[in-house]
Structure 1
């Protein structure tokens, strides 16, 4: 399964680690987990806490079961995070492929244009402005690729190393 939800990338992986450590070890309901992320990891709002929980699931840092969300105890492995990101976050691998195939740096807008056809039809139908939503998603994807060391931000945009 690939996850589409992606929070804004922080300045460092320390932030992701703080969120991971705030997810309870014993499974708990989503609302309780969100309150913990708000209190312990300084996540500003419940909607953002939900994004972080989902993203932690994508990265193998949390799991969801019948009793709620729980931290994956041995999930924190900074060396595996880029691979999990690429494999389990929707359009992450495609974003990196676009960058790798480019002759030079690409702006976020240029990457979006090459990924535009990846917007699922059902999302086009349900959203008043799916283009704006996906532009934001591409911006976030690019920021995470930089944080995970899969790409770099350079003059003129982004490129793979």
Structure 2
């Protein structure tokens, strides 16, 4: 299963951790998880909190149960090695976030670094038909913004690096560690 919501990436992994820590460790201990995130973090709007919860679910850091959302045991910190958690996030990002693998593969195939618009050009033909038919007038704007967010998350997870001229390329092995 792949998940579509992709929040605006934070500046660092610590900001991601702050939002994750605001998710209860047990489902049902808060009545409204979105409201709880708004109260405990710098998130401003309910739809932003919803996007974050679904995205964290895609990364397998949060799970949804009948009683509500809760942090997964692997996301609670403690004895887990940070490198192993990052590796799990990288895998889940590629496998479970809609379009992430498509974008990363486009960078890997490219002969050099790409802008977000050039990345859209590289994947445009691979955008599923149902997405292309929904609103053809907004397709490029929507997907270029989505790709920018995916690329920035890729940087955060050590899968992508930004060049000095603002283009993107796959991270070198040194960057991934």
Indicate which of 127, 130, 135 corresponds to 1:122. 130
Report the Cα distance in structure 1 between the residues aligned to 2:2 and 2:49, rounded to whole angstroms. Answer: 19
Quote the offset at 1:50 in angstroms: 0.7
Quote the offset at 1:29 in angstroms: 9.7
The SS at the match of 2:86 is: coil
Quote the offset at 1:100 in angstroms: 1.1
Report the Cα distance in structure 2 between the residues aligned to 1:149 and 1:41, rounded to whole angstroms. Answer: 24
Query: Which string of whole-angstrom CA distances, capped at 9 and with x for unpartnered residues, describes residues 58-84 of structure 1?
Result: 001111122221111223523321111
Indicate which of 127, 132, 152 corresponds to 2:141. 132
Single out whichever of 117-126 and 83-92 deviates more from structure 2: 117-126
CA RMSD of aligned residues (A): 2.0
Give 5+ residue unaligned stretches, structure 2.
Answer: 77-84, 173-177
Give 5+ residue unaligned stretches, structure 1.
Answer: none
Structure 2 residue 47 is matched with structure 1 residue 47: yes
Report the Cα distance in structure 2 between the residues aligned to 1:88 and 1:21, rounded to whole angstroms. Answer: 21
Residue matched to 1:112 = 120
Residue matched to 1:101 = 109
Conserved? CA contact 1:29–1:69, under 8 Å: no
Q: Structure 1 residues 30, 2: closer, same or farther in 2, change over 3 A? A: farther
What is the TM-score normalised by the length of structure 2?
0.82
Conserved? CA contact 1:58–1:89, under 8 Å: yes
Residue matched to 1:69 = 69
Q: Alignment length, in residue pairs?
A: 161
Residue matched to 1:152 = 161
Larger radius of gyration: 2
What is the TM-score normalised by the length of structure 1?
0.90
- More contact order relative to length (CA 8 Å, sep ≥ 6): 1
